[in-house]
């Protein structure tokens, strides 16, 4: 079995004594996000980053250590210091186990009650405040009502709108979209992250893409051939990468960005790969791949060191591709990985609905237009461990006295009825198309027209095509089985309806933002060298979208971004 690649996380501990500091982490994150993040939030994030590591160590997370016992670090993209804490290639899983065992302890002492195999379908508002949710019991299919003093959603991002992504297949945006429809603003939906280091698509039967960890860019070198004729032979399968001599290789990241080389941020590395492949230099049969090569690292460090550092990742690559990366360079290509946009929250992580909070990837977070590697967990854990527990108290201080609401109130009845009506509507379509076939169609539109390179024309086309997909979905979908039972196809259909809706919202936002910044690249707005060209005079704001009704264009609300401590400038990874 391949070992899953799971995420490491950043903190400004400066254990390496290489000049790291809270300010530097703050600065790298603001710069990495292309000056489109809220400055105060990022500073708070950098400040609490060190506490996260201490918290996780106390929970028993087995971070990698150096021989002397101190915690070890790796480098990740967009930083020139080594500040990434890791547990082999399984950090995320270990963090999850740490959090889960701490949670289990609370379950045991009776302070927490878990409801597993439930999915939130809607949020219930009473007098404008979030007072509970409607959830579906996934085993029985029954809808249930829950009352609360406040509601927190931590339901992740919307990357699966693209169908193929590195996200787990159950990741979805339905809870966030339910909040959006109830009035919570959705911020910066156009900002999605395309990770440069994924195993390329290899057919139309795939339902998922695999990430090769960014840590591989510490020692692996990315290249394509210098000569088009070599690329052609690679595409035809008559030449192998390892047989191309050194002088005929183009290490394009090292060439274009000498200061950061292979460790430029993800948006920059992804675009550079696309640029080379669009120019015909792709290295596999589809022409949509570049090499990630460890031959130099193996010569320099020896195979044992490479195996110790990356062995589990190499094994996983071999299991999937049947190629041995110790002998031939890996092939990689960018893929959808993370969403920087999400439900808008204020400094206290409250949405535009009183008493409704959003944390982790579900909120629009602190990453601006591009997230640096190992910063998602930093932000998610900061929100959950060190921000929300303090800020939610400000809300509860005068709310906790309010008697718990009865779930028989008309607001609960109406919310449950609306969910039920939607489910019945879905079940009654009784068309011909499976959920996945429509989802795939949606994914192609999103990737082709709202993907790595966007134009006014592509986005207008996307909006027209998405209307067609929406029509197909609501007129020709077929869901087998019944609503009142375990029905995975129904679950997927509910999620797909929301993916179509977020797809439209992303296209609106991308069309409105007539500049390039971070992961949002409008081809009309680039420098002569092909770098992102921002227009700070017009777009230095968070774009918040307010729901105005089904099928209607959403309303744009702007939150201006003011930088007091960082000088806003053009991102530079060259010198
Ligand atoms: C392959 C991969 C590698 C990554 N590598 C890194 C890395 O190196 N460093 C880093 O910092 N980050 C990394 N990330 C990103 C990071 O893992 C995610 O951003 C992070 O896990 C998000 O956490 P979350 O708790 O906000 O959301 P999630 O982890 O997505 O959790 C959301 C949960 O909510 C549940 N849910 C969804 N909808 C509902 C609903 N309606 N009702 C009830 N429950 C619901 C989901 O089932 C899920 O369990 C990686 C992500 C992937 C996919």
In this prediction, residue 1 carries a pLDDT of: 32
Instruction: Give yes or no for a contact between 28 and 15, defined as CB atoms under 8 angstroms apart.
Output: no
Expressed in angstroms and rounded, the spacing between residue 154 Cα and the centre of ligand 1 is 9
- Per the listing, tokens 């029509």 go with 471
Stretch (H or E) spanning 461: helix 456-476
Q: Which atom of ligand 1 is nearest to 175's Cα? A: 41
In this prediction, residue 254 carries a pLDDT of: 96
In this prediction, residue 49 carries a pLDDT of: 92
CB within 8 Å of 236: residues ≥ 6 apart: 285
361 lines ligand 1 (CB under 6 A): yes
7 lines ligand 1 (CB under 6 A): yes
Residues of 108-140 as b/e, b for ≥16 C-beta within 10 angstroms? eeeeeeeeeeebbbbbbbbeebbbbbbbbebee
Instruction: Give yes or no for a contact between 505 and 189, defined as CB atoms under 8 angstroms apart.
Output: yes
- Half-sphere exposure at residue 390, Cβ-oriented, CA atoms within 13 angstroms: 8
89 lines ligand 1 (CB under 6 A): no
Active site residues: 266
Instruction: Give yes or no for a contact between 403 and 123, defined as CB atoms under 8 angstroms apart.
Output: no
CB within 8 Å of 84: residues ≥ 6 apart: 8, 9, 10, 73, 74, 75, 76, 215, 373, 374
Rounded-to-integer distance, Cα 493 and Cα 498, Å = 9
Q: How far is CA 326 from CA 246, 294, 376, in A?
A: 17, 7, 30
Strand-pair partners of 532: 526
Expressed in angstroms and rounded, the spacing between residue 116 Cα and the centre of ligand 1 is 16
Expressed in angstroms and rounded, the spacing between residue 403 Cα and the centre of ligand 1 is 34
154 lines ligand 1 (CB under 6 A): yes
pTM of the model: 0.94
Q: Which residues of the chain have pLDDT under 50?
A: 1-6
166 lines ligand 1 (CB under 6 A): yes
Closest residue CA from atom 5 of ligand 1? 7
Q: Tokens representing 260? A: 């950061």
Instruction: Give yes or no for a contact between 554 and 187, defined as CB atoms under 8 angstroms apart.
Output: no
Expressed in angstroms and rounded, the spacing between residue 475 Cα and the centre of ligand 1 is 32
Strand-pair partners of 376: none
380 lines ligand 1 (CB under 6 A): yes
Expressed in angstroms and rounded, the spacing between residue 4 Cα and the centre of ligand 1 is 14
39 lines ligand 1 (CB under 6 A): no
In this prediction, residue 575 carries a pLDDT of: 74
Rounded-to-integer distance, Cα 282 and Cα 38, Å = 37
In this prediction, residue 441 carries a pLDDT of: 97
Rounded-to-integer distance, Cα 483 and Cα 39, Å = 46
Q: How far is CA 508 from CA 120, 180, 370, 399, 501, in A?
A: 26, 15, 19, 37, 11
Which residue out of 56, 79, 92 has the highest number of ligand 1 atoms within 8 Å of its CB and is therefore the one to mutate? Answer: 92
CA proximity to 221, closest of 166, 300, 285, 280: 300
Rounded-to-integer distance, Cα 345 and Cα 363, Å = 7
Phi/psi at 226 (5° precision) = -80, -30
375 lines ligand 1 (CB under 6 A): yes
CA proximity to 435, closest of 495, 501, 505, 483: 495
CA proximity to 243, closest of 186, 310, 327, 352: 327
119 lines ligand 1 (CB under 6 A): yes
Closest residue CA from atom 37 of ligand 1? 155
Expressed in angstroms and rounded, the spacing between residue 381 Cα and the centre of ligand 1 is 11
pLDDT per position as a tens digit, 309-340: 889 899 999 999 999 999 999 999 999 999 99
Stretch (H or E) spanning 137: strand 129-137
What value, to the nearest 5°, has the Cα angle with vertex 321 and ends 317 and 327? Answer: 70
Expressed in angstroms and rounded, the spacing between residue 361 Cα and the centre of ligand 1 is 7
- Count of positions (residues) in the chain: 575
Closest residue CA from atom 15 of ligand 1? 376
Closest residue CA from atom 8 of ligand 1? 7
Q: How many CB atoms lie within 10 A of CB 157?
A: 28
């Amino acid at each position: 079995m391949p070992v899953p690649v799971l995420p490491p996380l950043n903190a400004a501990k400066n254990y390496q004594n290489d000049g790291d500091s809270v300010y530097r982490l703050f600065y790298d994150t603001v710069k990495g996000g292309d000056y489109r993040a809220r400055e105060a939030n990022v500073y708070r994030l950098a400040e609490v980053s060190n506490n996260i590591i201490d918290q996780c160590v106390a929970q028993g997370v087995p971070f990698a250590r150096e021989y002397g016992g101190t915690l070890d670090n790796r480098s990740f993209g967009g930083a020139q210091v080594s500040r990434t804490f890791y547990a082999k290639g399984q950090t995320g899983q270990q963090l999850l186990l740490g959090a889960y065992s701490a949670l289990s302890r609370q379950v045991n002492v009776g302070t927490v009650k878990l409801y597993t195999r439930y999915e939130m379908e809607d949020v219930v508002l009473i007098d404008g405040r979030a007072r509970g949710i409607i959830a579906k019991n996934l085993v029985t299919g029954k809808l249930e009502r829950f009352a609360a003093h406040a509601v927190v959603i931590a339901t992740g991002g919307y990357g699966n709108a693209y169908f193929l992504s590195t996200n787990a297949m159950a990741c979805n945006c339905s809870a966030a979209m339910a909040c959006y429809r109830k009035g919570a603003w959705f911020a910066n939906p156009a900002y999605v992250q395309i990770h440069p280091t994924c195993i390329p698509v290899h057919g139309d039967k795939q339902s998922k893409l695999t990430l090769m960890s960014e840590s591989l860019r510490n020692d692996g070198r990315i290249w394509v051939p210098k000569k088009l004729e070599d690329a052609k032979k690679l595409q035809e399968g008559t030449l192998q990468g390892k047989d191309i001599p050194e002088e005929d290789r183009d290490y394009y990241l090292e060439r274009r960005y000498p200061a950061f080389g292979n460790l430029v941020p993800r948006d920059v590395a992804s675009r550079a790969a696309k640029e080379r492949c669009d120019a015909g230099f792709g290295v596999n049969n589809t022409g949509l791949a570049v090499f990630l090569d460890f031959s130099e690292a193996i010569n320099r460090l020896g195979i044992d060191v490479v195996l110790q550092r990356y062995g589990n990742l190499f094994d996983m690559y071999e299991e999937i591709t049947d190629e041995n990366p110790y002998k031939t360079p890996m092939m990689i290509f960018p893929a959808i990985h993370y969403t920087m946009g999400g439900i808008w929250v204020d400094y206290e992580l409250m949405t535009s609905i009183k008493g409704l909070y959003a944390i982790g990837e579900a909120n629009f977070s602190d990453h601006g237009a591009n997230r640096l590697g190992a910063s998602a967990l930093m932000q998610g854990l900061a929100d959950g461990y060190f921000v929300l527990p303090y800020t939610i108290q400000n809300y509860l201080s005068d709310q906790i006295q309010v008697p718990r609401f009865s779930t028989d109130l008309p607001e609960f009845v109406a919310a449950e009825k609306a969910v039920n009506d939607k489910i019945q509507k879905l079940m009654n379509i009784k068309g011909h198309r499976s959920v996945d076939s429509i989802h795939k169609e949606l994914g192609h539109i999103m990737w082709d027209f709202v993907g790595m390179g966007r134009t006014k024309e592509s986005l207008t086309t996307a909006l027209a095509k998405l209307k067609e997909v929406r029509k197909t979905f609501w007129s020709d979908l077929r869901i087998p089985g019944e609503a009142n039972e375990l029905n995975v196809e129904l679950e997927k259909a509910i999620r797909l309806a929301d993916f179509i809706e977020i797809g439209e919202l992303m296209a609106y936002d991308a069309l409105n933002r007539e500049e390039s910044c971070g992961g949002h690249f409008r081809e009309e707005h680039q420098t002569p060298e092909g770098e992102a060209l921002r227009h700070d005079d017009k777009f230095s704001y968070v774009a918040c979208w307010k729901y105005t009704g089904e099928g209607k264009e959403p309303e744009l609300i702007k939150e201006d971004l003011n930088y007091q401590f960082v000088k806003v400038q053009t991102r530079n990874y060259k010198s």
